[in-house]
Structure 1
Amino acid sequence: MEDWTIGMILILVICGFLAGFIDSVVGGGGLIAIPALLAAGIPLHLLLGSNKLAGTLCSLTSTASFVRSGKINMKLARKLIPLSVIGAAAGTLTVRQVPSEFLKPMVIVMLIVITIYTLFKKSWGDVSTFSAKSSTLRLAGLAAALLIGFYDGFFGPGTGSFLIFAFLMMGFEFVTAAGNAKILNLASNVTSLLTFIALGSVSYTYGLMLGIPMVIGAIVGSRLAIRKGAAYIRPLFIAVTVLLIGKQIWDTIH
């Protein structure tokens, strides 16, 4: 058992709530959660697995909120979840063998494109135009679930942004796009977490100390998103994507 101080606990509780609040809707909670775990003194070999434990609890909570509100296309999600799981498992195993740092410049460019596209499409995501009968959209969804699931297991930053963008491109409005993204993100999180557990790379103490306040933040954040709709999710989506761009640029430079 680690020697906990009041300061360490406060860091994890406050940062956990903020991370859960943001992550519950558009992802990006790792921007806050990972530095919080480092500040609390977690051993580096347990960092990613413990963060994944906390993130999985957060994803489970926010997904439940979206399911209860009917803001997830469950028929589509049931088809995409297995591919997200396969992709995440493959990505998590691959990152043990291949360094993921080479992806950073590519991720920066993709996040910049997403941000610019969303900024200029003012009314994008206000109304759903998704058609379940479109074979092209179904194939695009299957490919996105597999590739983004792999990316989540292999590297991770921006997964929520990429998933929401994929569902917006398929014609969903912002709230349902966020809900669909959360259930796929939950599937890939669970898969990655189980892989980290099997590899002995999870601290349950750190993970739960961060995860419990993340759950509370997720409850507040997801309910607010469902109530406020696109007017709330759109600016949060843009803000988190811009922060992710800045974080990746900073990491690349340093």
Structure 2
Amino acid sequence: MEFGSPGMIAILVICGFLAGLIDSVVGGGGLIGIPALLAAGIPVHLLLGSNKLAGTLCSFTSTASFMKSGKIDFSLVKVLIPFSIIGAVSGTLTVRQVPSEFLKPLVIVMLVVITIYTLFKKAWGDVSTFKGSTAKTRLIGVAVAFGIGFYDGFFGPGTGSFLIFAFLMMGFEFVTAAGNAKVLNFASNISSLITFIALGSVSYSYGLIMGIPMIIGAVVGSRIAIRKGASYIRPLFITVTVILIGKQIWDTMHS
């Protein structure tokens, strides 16, 4: 399929919308976006950077939607953003030097734990029990922001799930946990994207063709999430996490 052909553009537009719809709430858009870019014929060395461009547009849009609804705790996340940025840049630079394949078994285990924990805590995330930002929560948050930011820049799959889980553990309900997660995800995305651009690893044409419909998907997805709350986010969170587990197992078995 030639670049710019109607078929290629259709693949990227449809997949971009679906990726944005999912990624805007619980992450995991790369499950759709990366295979779509590969199917469209993108050169492999431009794959991650171009997907990061599309993902950054999506995370910016969903962050703006959650911000407008007031479903972000800025007193906490404003402290965490710099550490997410530092982590993401460090991870993006590291992945150029060290293969990320060794992380797959660990990611599978962590995603399984998250899924089981969420399934058994049925009312978890329905009501906020967060007591406010304290020295302890900020310290935990800094470690989480840097660690998951590094992971996002270095490897990526499951970043949204890990961030939401971390905020749920702090006591936030699902909607605010998703809003907080999108802020940090946007911070790590844009800093990682800038690093990819500096390294010459981004195709703007591929990234924008998929990124623009991702913006539309992000608007739709975040609005549904804000309106329906945990009844929508919880099953979507579990579904995407289970799919991520399956994909990581498949990739590990066939690598």
TM-score range, shorter chain: over 0.9
Normalized against structure 2, the TM-score is what?
0.98
- Alignment match, 1:37: 37
Contact 2:3 2:40 in 1 (8 A): no
Contact 1:132 1:138 in 2 (8 A): no
Q: Distance in 2 between matches of 1:166 and 1:93?
A: 25
Q: CA deviation at 1:185?
A: 0.2
- Alignment match, 2:153: 153
Contact 2:81 2:187 in 1 (8 A): yes
Q: Which amino acid aligns with 1:237?
A: F
- Alignment match, 1:69: 69
Q: Distance in 1 between matches of 2:158 and 2:198?
A: 25
Post-superposition Cα deviations, 1:66-91, rounded to whole Å, max 9, x if no partner, equal 00000000111110000000000100
Query: Residue 11 of structure 2: SS of its match in structure 1?
Result: helix
Q: Which amino acid aligns with 2:59?
A: S
Q: CA deviation at 1:134?
A: 3.5
Q: Distance in 2 between matches of 1:142 and 1:230?
A: 26
Post-superposition Cα deviations, 1:116-167, rounded to whole Å, max 9, x if no partner, equal 0000000000111112253322211111001000000011000000000000
Contact 1:34 1:51 in 2 (8 A): yes
- Alignment match, 1:235: 235
- Alignment match, 2:123: 123
Percent identical among aligned pairs is: 80
- Alignment match, 1:168: 168
Q: CA deviation at 1:3?
A: 3.8
Which residues of 2 match residues 88-99 of structure 1 at below 5 A?
A: 88-99=88-99
- Alignment match, 2:104: 104
Contact 2:3 2:41 in 1 (8 A): no
- Alignment match, 1:54: 54
1:210 aligns with 2:218: no
Q: CA deviation at 1:203?
A: 0.3
- Alignment match, 2:246: 246
- Alignment match, 2:81: 81
Q: Which amino acid aligns with 2:20?
A: G
Q: Distance in 2 between matches of 1:135 and 1:169?
A: 16
Q: Give unmatched runs, 5+ long, in structure 2.
A: none
- Alignment match, 1:18: 18
Q: Distance in 1 between matches of 2:133 and 2:237?
A: 28
Contact 1:62 1:222 in 2 (8 A): yes
Contact 2:75 2:133 in 1 (8 A): no
Q: Distance in 2 between matches of 1:137 and 1:49?
A: 33
Does the C-alpha gap of structure 1 residues 194 and 132 become closer, same or farther in structure 2, counting only changes over 3 Å?
A: same
Does the C-alpha gap of structure 1 residues 231 and 97 become closer, same or farther in structure 2, counting only changes over 3 Å?
A: same
Post-superposition Cα deviations, 1:17-60, rounded to whole Å, max 9, x if no partner, equal 00000000000000000000000000000000000000000000
- Alignment match, 1:196: 196
Contact 1:89 1:191 in 2 (8 A): yes
Q: Distance in 1 between matches of 2:118 and 2:16?
A: 28
Post-superposition Cα deviations, 1:93-131, rounded to whole Å, max 9, x if no partner, equal 000011010000000000000000000000000111112
Q: Distance in 2 between matches of 1:149 and 1:7?
A: 35
Q: Distance in 2 between matches of 1:131 and 1:196?
A: 38
Query: Residue 129 of structure 1: SS of its match in structure 2?
Result: coil
Query: Residue 118 of structure 1: SS of its match in structure 2?
Result: helix
